[in-house]
């Protein structure tokens, strides 16, 4: 195996890496502090499209993690950037919350239910049957189908919740149209994030807690990958996948000293 270049930039997932069920993972504060003090380019990524970067900055600050707004990259931002490149100044019917609607407004998109260019599906706490019916009819009438991420379930205090991927499957069943998923594991989200901080894949690393999204996305984007065992994927599950992370570590605390 060819030796990789030194890591100059870091991308890291949020839930399961920096925090778990609203509590910071031990070592996460030291990792973020080291990144900021060293001036190392970095991004905190999330497939969750509910929140704006400003919302996420506030949530992280409350648990002692000082991540600037400019260092937060969401599937909503990646989806908006993708649409801006594909069809600038377009129109969309959106199922989602402020993270997604704000991102689309910021690129100049008009949100409408009248002959939109796209139906854009994101995360929301309350999926409306009326909104889903409208989305199905618009797609049947020719609107293109985009979804922020393929995650099928999300966590809650009461247990698993249906997430974007599950709802997208419902719409696909009703329309015969599969969405284009912009978020992880699509390497497009990683590459757009790297571009946002002026980084290159050959000198960047991705830290995640999931083999099926974080590690796969980092691998397909050409990055060095670190799997931490503080989230979804457990050590015994790694060998079940046809690909491997570059390195498996117990937690992000093990990576603080890797920051130059």
Average confidence (pLDDT) per 10 residues, the chain, 260 residues: 84 94 93 97 96 97 96 97 98 98 98 98 94 98 98 75 93 98 95 94 96 95 96 94 97 95
Which domain-ending residue is among 154, 179, 204? 179
CATH at residue 162: 3.40.50.1000
Q: Which of 15, 29, 151, 209 is catalytic?
A: 15
Q: Are 43 and 72 in contact (CB under 8 A)?
A: yes
58: in domain: no
Q: How far apart are CA 76 and CA 102, in angstroms?
A: 9
127: in domain: yes
Residues 96 and 164 in one domain: yes
Residues 106 and 189 in one domain: no
Residues 161 and 191 in one domain: no
1: in domain: no
Residues 170 and 82 in one domain: yes
pLDDT at residue 203 in the model: 97
Which domain-ending residue is among 179, 212, 246? 179
The C-alpha R_g of the chain, in whole angstroms, comes to: 18
Residues 214 and 228 in one domain: yes
Q: 99 to each of 6, 48, 76, 123, 256, how far by Cα in Å?
A: 34, 9, 6, 9, 30
pLDDT at residue 158 in the model: 73
Residues 157 and 91 in one domain: yes
Residues 127 and 194 in one domain: no
Residue for token pair 């000293």: 257
Q: 201 to each of 24, 95, 198, how far by Cα in Å?
A: 27, 32, 10
pLDDT at residue 2 in the model: 62
Residues 79 and 147 in one domain: yes
pLDDT at residue 3 in the model: 76
Residue 163's domain comprises 74-179
Catalytic: 250?
no
Catalytic: 15?
yes
pLDDT at residue 118 in the model: 98
Residues 217 and 167 in one domain: no
Q: Are 105 and 111 in contact (CB under 8 A)?
A: yes
242: in domain: yes
pLDDT at residue 1 in the model: 53
- Please give the tally of structural domains in the chain: 2
Which domain-ending residue is among 179, 199, 225? 179
């Amino acid at each position: 195996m060819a030796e990789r270049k030194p890591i100059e930039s870091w991308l890291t997932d949020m839930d399961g890496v920096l925090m778990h069920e609203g509590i910071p993972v031990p070592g996460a504060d030291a990792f973020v502090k080291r990144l900021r003090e060293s001036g190392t380019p970095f991004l905190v990524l999330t497939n969750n499209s509910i929140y704006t970067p400003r919302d996420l900055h506030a949530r992280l600050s409350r648990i002692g993690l000082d991540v600037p707004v400019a260092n937060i990259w969401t599937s909503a931002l990646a989806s908006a950037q993708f649409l801006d490149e594909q069809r600038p100044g377009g129109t969309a019917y959106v199922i989602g919350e402020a993270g997604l609607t704000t991102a689309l407004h910021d690129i100049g998109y008009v949100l409408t239910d009248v002959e939109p260019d796209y139906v854009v599906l994101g995360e929301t706490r309350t999926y409306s049957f009326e909104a889903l019916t409208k989305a199905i009819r618009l797609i049947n009438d020719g609107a293109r189908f985009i979804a922020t991420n393929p995650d099928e379930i999300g966590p809650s205090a009461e247990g698993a919740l249906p997430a974007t991927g599950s709802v997208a499957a419902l719409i696909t069943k009703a329309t015969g149209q599969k969405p284009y998923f912009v978020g992880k594991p699509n390497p497009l989200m990683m590459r757009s994030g790297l571009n946002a901080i002026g980084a290159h894949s050959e000198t960047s690393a991705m830290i995640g807690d999931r083999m099926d999204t974080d590690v796969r996305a980092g691998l397909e984007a050409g990055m060095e990958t670190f799997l931490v065992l503080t989230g979804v994927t457990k050590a015994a599950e790694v060998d079940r996948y046809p690909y491997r992370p570059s390195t498996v570590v117990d937690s992000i605390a093990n990576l603080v000293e890797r920051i130059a």
